[in-house]
Amino acid sequence: MPSKIWIDGRLVDKADAKVSVYDHGLLYGDGIFEGIRAYNGKIFECEAHLDRFLQSAKGIRLTLPMSREQLRAAMEETIKGNGFTDCYIRLVATRGVGSLGLSPVRCERPSVFIIADLLELYPREMYEKGMAVITASTIRNHPNAMPPRVKSLNYLNNILAKLEAIDAGVSEAIMLNHEGNVAECTADNIFIVRSGQLQTPQTCDGILEGVTRRVILELAAKLQVPAVEKTLQKHDLYVADECFLTGTGAEVIPVTKIDGRVIGTGQVGTVTRKLLEAYHRRVKEG
């Protein structure tokens, strides 16, 4: 468990890490975050995460009070301050303390805080045998309402779909976009394999451009696994030979059942296993 939290320029005891009830991140979900992993004391895909964090800030017109280099140094300080080598990092920026009312101009200075902690989203058994998921009735936010490419603090859309998964007795839910096509899961990107080809929804299908998703596409190219980003429908999922999810927290986890339908043989597929093993090698390499 973490003992120190980095908040607005310094490490403080966890018990003393507090935000104001007038912080617009709390009041209105006005802020952004990144979920990041550290392995063997090194931040995994640090530059890619910082790229997305800075792009999210620009997307919501939030001027960060820290440079890219300062953000990286603060994350490293948080890891070391808690004595971790392998951990999950949550980097958060809020609009800051303001007054009641939506206007962000009333917030004088954004707030930044960083948590380093241990995280295990799913039981180890699921990585060997696969997991069951459902398709949620809650759709992904329309790109012109709240762009899914912005990793914002407002996750109610995802939480409502997650509740559907919990009600169904499974760990994850697939979300469709406003056109009824496959977008992503509540916290993970989705891949399928059909006739040896790796397929995943496009950016324009309403997804967050996952860092782990990009790593998997790069690994597929190295392993000469044909891969394509394309629009997928539920039918494509149901008739897939294999399926798996990717995310910083989840890493790479196989899916063997969707909406009660067995995917492929019901076992973890060969392409999935090959990419999962390649991902673990990539993590060890840093």
Radius of gyration of the chain (CA): 19
* 143 and 111, same domain (yes or no): no
Asked if residue 131 and residue 68 are part of one domain, the reply reads: no
pLDDT (mean) for 125-144: 96
Answer yes or no: do 93 and 212 share one domain. no
117, 134, 158 — which closes off a domain? 117
Q: Which alpha helices (H) appear in 10-45, and where do they start and end? A: 24-28
Give yes or no for a contact between 136 and 175, defined as CB atoms under 8 angstroms apart: yes
Shared domain for 17 and 108, answered yes or no, is yes
Where is the domain boundary, 68, 87, 117? Answer: 117
How confident is the model over 180-209, as pLDDT tens digits?
999 999 999 999 999 999 999 999 999 999
Q: Are residues 222 and 276 located together in one domain of the fold?
A: yes
- Residues 168, 108 share a domain: no
Cα(115)–Cα(110) distance, rounded to whole angstroms?
Answer: 17
What would the mean pLDDT of 124-132 be, rounded to a whole number? 95
Active site residues: 151
Mark which of 97, 117, 137 sits at the end of a domain: 117
Do both 93 and 182 map to the same domain?
no
Does the pLDDT at position 286 exceed 80?
no
Report the distance separating Cα 50 and Cα 171, nearest Å.
Answer: 28
pLDDT tier, 238 (very low <50, low <70, confident <90, very high otherwise): very high
Domain count along the chain: 2
Amino acid at 212: T
Looking up residue 19, the CATH number of its domain turns out to be 3.30.470.10
Q: Which residues pair with 233 in a beta bridge?
A: none
- If asked whether residues 246 and 113 sit together in one domain, one would say no
DSSP per-residue codes, 220-267: HHHTT--EEE----HHHHHT-SEEEEEETTTEEEEEEEETTEEPTTSS
Return the amino acid letter for 106.
R
Task: Assign 120 a pLDDT band (cuts: 50, 70, 90).
Answer: confident
User: Angle CA(139)–CA(152)–CA(117) in degrees, nearest 5?
Assistant: 110
- Are residues 245 and 141 both part of a single domain? yes
Considering the entire predicted model, what is its pTM? 0.95
Tell me, yes or no, whether 32 and 153 share the same domain: no
User: Could you tell me the CATH number of the domain that includes residue 243?
Assistant: 3.20.10.10
To 5 degrees, how large is the angle CA 179–CA 177–CA 247?
A: 150
Beta strand extents in the chain (DSSP E only)? 4-7, 10-13, 31-39, 42-43, 87-94, 111-117, 131-135, 172-176, 182-185, 189-194, 197-200, 227-229, 242-247, 251-258, 261-262
What SS3 state is found at 106? Answer: helix
171 pLDDT higher than 90: yes
Q: What is the pLDDT of residues 77-101, one digit of tens each?
A: 999 999 999 999 999 999 999 999 9
Residue-averaged pLDDT of the chain: 96
Whether residues 185 and 147 share a domain: the answer is: yes
Pair (172, 111) in one structural domain: no
What is the span of the domain harbouring residue 132?
A: 124-285
Distance CA 175, CA 237 (A): 12
